[in-house]
Amino acid sequence: MKMAQWIKTPKTYILIAIVVYLSIASWATRSMAGIENGGIAAGTAIVVDVLFALIKKRKRIMPDGAAITGLLVAMILSLNTAWFIIACTAALSIISKHLLVYKKKAIFNPAAIGLFLSIPIFHAEQSWWGAFGDLPGWYIPLLLIGGYAVTNRVNKYPQVFAFFLITFAMTLAMAYFHKGDAFDALRPPFINATLFFGCFMLTDPPTSPAKIRDQVVFGVIAAITGSVIYGLYGGLMYLFIGLLAGNVFHLLMQRLTANRPKSSSKPSSQQKSKPISTLQR
Amino acid sequence: MAKMKKKWVVLCSTAIAAVYTAGYWATESDKSNIPVNAVYSSPSATSSTSGSGTAQVLDSQSQVSSKYNDGTYVGMGSNRRGTIQVSVAIENDRITDVEISDFAMHYSIDDVVGMPDEVLQIQSANVENVSGATYSTRAFSDAVQDALDQALRA
């Protein structure tokens, strides 16, 4: 792939956005820990990804997706997280990407499952500092600018809008019925986490659907599951659990589609154009 | 798949912003429950106390030549990840008991269960930071310090 082509890929959009965010957050917190954590996580993820590529004897080794996963992990784990926990979480993410697969595609969002498992296994603390979780609220528009650019590039507006709409509607219902901690959910750092998660993790092309209807259902499942978990238990795992539930829905839809006789399937606009989900991270 | 038209992007974004705003407005009344003097800070930033100043003396006795008043004091520490409330018992300038009376952090309470004993041991609010529990450690330390500040003789 030529440089000009690579620049236009969804992965490059995401990579540029999260590197910019990481730089801004590091500058604003006046700490180099974020850059160091990013290097550790991305480095570990790339090494593990390359190892798997060598084991699988892949001709093309391009670990840019692994770098994105590693950076996402580093931006969500607390700045004070021990380096080996960051490395292990990044490694877990990439291992899941290669082992938990269906038709050679990852079933679960690698960063989400790594971060989800890091809580019970490593007792990891998450702060979403890379989503400006420790900074004033006026940094949020920066999240939305990059988030919309990435969502537009991967063509996932229906999914992201469904997720945000249901999440905020359920939080409003929680506030109305005085259930759960709606106050926190709508303010930093939780609103930062929701926006960053919706635009940068939920939209991962290989682990989310391409069809509009499936995108909407995916977003609704992720939002309802996450909001129910948050309302009942609080904590910080709710977004990841929501996404993993959406990933399971996506897997089921893939299996149903694969089992359907070809003669009964009607040609759709989806089949005419190259689906975005083929652009593997 | 065709890209969503800009008109629809704007309309959907506006609808989402409206629902968000309604939720934000509906939860504004909960603001009164948040400690007024709380200072939100990143654990990586320079130390700043987020004690709320809401501690109250439950039972105090006057003493003449000591640093603290005897009694049990309630202190609160908070940051963006939640709030911890502790009750600290003081007798003859010594911390004799520390209890976590309310834990409302978004992390596990297991992170801080050993800290009351540590305060009794070191006789100070400056507990050692626990890896993986920076925000809870900070909130707990601030809560104990807040209670001690309340106990200080004027």
In a domain, B93, yes or no: yes
- Structural contact between residues A209 and A218, judged by C-beta atoms closer than 8 angstroms: yes
Shortest CA distance from A149: residue in chain B: B9
The ipTM is 0.87
Residues B20 and B62 in one domain: no
Residues of chain A with Cβ-Cβ distance to B9 below 8 Å are 148, 152, 157
Does the beta-carbon distance from B134 to A152 stay under 8 Å?
Answer: no
First-residue to last-residue Cα distance in chain B: 71
Residues B71 and B26 in one domain: no
Which of A161, A236, A238, A274 is most worth mutating to test chain B (most B CB atoms within 10 A of its CB)?
A: A161
Does the beta-carbon distance from B107 to A81 stay under 8 Å?
Answer: no
Neighbours of A162 (CB within 10 A): 25
Q: How many domains would you assign to chain A?
A: 1
In a domain, A217, yes or no: yes
pLDDT the model gives residue A5? 81
Residues of chain A with Cβ-Cβ distance to B108 below 8 Å are 235
Of A80, A186, A211, which has the smallest distance from its Cβ to B43's Cβ? A80
Interface of B with A (CB under 8 A): 1-4, 8-9, 12-13, 15-16, 19-20, 22-24, 26-27, 30-31, 33-34, 41-45, 80-82, 106-108, 111, 129, 131-135
- C-alpha A86/C-alpha A33 separation (Å) is 12
Residues B63 and B135 in one domain: yes
Q: Is residue B38 over pLDDT 70?
A: no
Q: Give tens-digit pLDDT for A131-140.
A: 999 999 999 9
Q: Give tens-digit pLDDT for A84-94.
A: 999 999 999 99
How many angstroms separate the CA of residue A69 from the nearest CA in chain B? 21
pLDDT the model gives residue A76? 96
Residues of chain A with Cβ-Cβ distance to B38 below 8 Å are none
Q: What confidence category does residue A60 fall into, taking pLDDT thresholds of 50, 70 and 90? A: confident
Pull the structure tokens for residue B31.
Answer: 């603001």
Stretch A16-38: mean pLDDT: 94
Does the beta-carbon distance from A78 to B30 stay under 8 Å?
Answer: no
Q: Give tens-digit pLDDT for A43-53.
A: 999 999 999 99
Q: How many domains would you assign to chain B?
A: 2
Q: Can you spell out the DSSP letters for B20-71? A: HHHHHHHHGGGGGGS-TT-----TTS-----B-S---EEEEE--SSSSB-EE
Q: Is residue A280 over pLDDT 60?
A: no
Does the beta-carbon distance from B1 to A189 stay under 8 Å?
Answer: no
Q: What confidence category does residue B78 fall into, taking pLDDT thresholds of 50, 70 and 90? A: very high
pLDDT the model gives residue B46? 32
Of A80, A186, A189, which has the smallest distance from its Cβ to B20's Cβ? A186
Residues B27 and B64 in one domain: no
In a domain, A275, yes or no: no
Domain that holds residue A75: 3-259
How many angstroms separate the CA of residue B83 from the nearest CA in chain A? 11
How many angstroms separate the CA of residue A175 from the nearest CA in chain B? 6
Of B16, B44, B129, which has the smallest distance from its Cβ to A31's Cβ? B44
pLDDT the model gives residue B45? 34
> Among positive and negative, which fits the CA dihedral A69, A72, A76, A77?
positive
Grouping H, G, I as helix, E, B as strand and the rest as coil, residue B147 is helix
Does the beta-carbon distance from B30 to A85 stay under 8 Å?
Answer: no
Does the beta-carbon distance from A31 to B81 stay under 8 Å?
Answer: no
Q: Are strands B82-91 and A101-102 parallel, antiparallel or unpaired?
A: unpaired
Residues of chain B with Cβ-Cβ distance to A276 below 8 Å are 1
Does the beta-carbon distance from B16 to A165 stay under 8 Å?
Answer: yes
Q: What confidence category does residue A78 fall into, taking pLDDT thresholds of 50, 70 and 90? A: very high
Q: What confidence category does residue B65 fall into, taking pLDDT thresholds of 50, 70 and 90? A: low
Q: Is residue B3 over pLDDT 90?
A: no
In a domain, B95, yes or no: yes
pLDDT the model gives residue A258? 81
Which of A123, A155, A270 is most worth mutating to test chain B (most B CB atoms within 10 A of its CB)?
A: A123
Residues B88 and B26 in one domain: no
In a domain, B52, yes or no: no
Residues of chain B with Cβ-Cβ distance to A211 below 8 Å are 1
- Structural contact between residues B133 and B110, judged by C-beta atoms closer than 8 angstroms: no
Neighbours of A101 (CB within 10 A): 13
Q: How far is CA A13 from CA A20, A97, A164, A199, A211, in A?
A: 11, 21, 21, 12, 21
Those residues whose C-beta lies under 8 Å from the C-beta of residue A85, and which sit 6 or more positions away, are A77, A118, A122, A124, B132
What 8-state DSSP symbol labels residue B110?
G
Tokens 């659990």, residue? Answer: A241
Q: Is residue B53 over pLDDT 60?
A: no
Of A82, A168, A188, which has the smallest distance from its Cβ to B19's Cβ? A168
Instruction: Please return the burial class of B33, using the count of CB atoms within 10 Å of its CB with bins 0-12, 13-18 and 19+.
Output: exposed
- C-alpha A129/C-alpha A80 separation (Å) is 11
Instruction: Please return the burial class of A51, using the count of CB atoms within 10 Å of its CB with bins 0-12, 13-18 and 19+.
Output: middle
Residues B81 and B134 in one domain: yes
- What residue type is A145 in one-letter code? I
- Structural contact between residues A38 and A71, judged by C-beta atoms closer than 8 angstroms: yes
pLDDT the model gives residue B32? 60
What 8-state DSSP symbol labels residue A125?
-
Q: Is residue B15 over pLDDT 80?
A: yes
Q: Give tens-digit pLDDT for A211-266.
A: 999 999 999 999 999 999 999 988 889 999 999 999 999 999 999 888 777 655 45
Residues B28 and B86 in one domain: no
Residues B129 and B65 in one domain: yes
pLDDT the model gives residue A138? 94
Neighbours of A75 (CB within 10 A): 26
- Structural contact between residues A52 and A93, judged by C-beta atoms closer than 8 angstroms: no
CATH label of the domain that carries residue B116: 3.90.1010.20
Domain that holds residue B8: 1-33
- What residue type is A248 in one-letter code? V
Percent of chain A with pLDDT over 70: 93
Residues B19 and B68 in one domain: no
Which of A129, A163, A168 is most worth mutating to test chain B (most B CB atoms within 10 A of its CB)?
A: A168
- C-alpha A118/C-alpha A163 separation (Å) is 24
Q: Is residue A267 over pLDDT 60?
A: no
- C-alpha B86/C-alpha B11 separation (Å) is 48
Count H helices, E strands: chain B?
Answer: 3, 4
Q: Give tens-digit pLDDT for A172-216.
A: 999 999 888 899 999 999 999 999 999 999 999 999 999 999 999
The CA radius of gyration of chain A, in Å to the nearest whole number, is 18
Residues B83 and B127 in one domain: yes
Pull the structure tokens for residue B111.
Answer: 């992170």
pLDDT the model gives residue A202? 95
Residues B88 and B13 in one domain: no
Pull the structure tokens for residue A156.
Answer: 């996932």
Neighbours of A259 (CB within 10 A): 7
Residues B103 and B144 in one domain: yes
Q: Give tens-digit pLDDT for B99-152.
A: 999 999 989 888 899 999 999 999 999 998 776 788 999 999 999 999 999 998
Does the beta-carbon distance from B44 to A155 stay under 8 Å?
Answer: no
pLDDT the model gives residue B51? 43
Instruction: Please return the burial class of A202, using the count of CB atoms within 10 Å of its CB with bins 0-12, 13-18 and 19+.
Output: buried
Instruction: Please return the burial class of B63, using the count of CB atoms within 10 Å of its CB with bins 0-12, 13-18 and 19+.
Output: middle
Residues of chain A with Cβ-Cβ distance to B128 below 8 Å are none
In a domain, A39, yes or no: yes
Grouping H, G, I as helix, E, B as strand and the rest as coil, residue A31 is coil
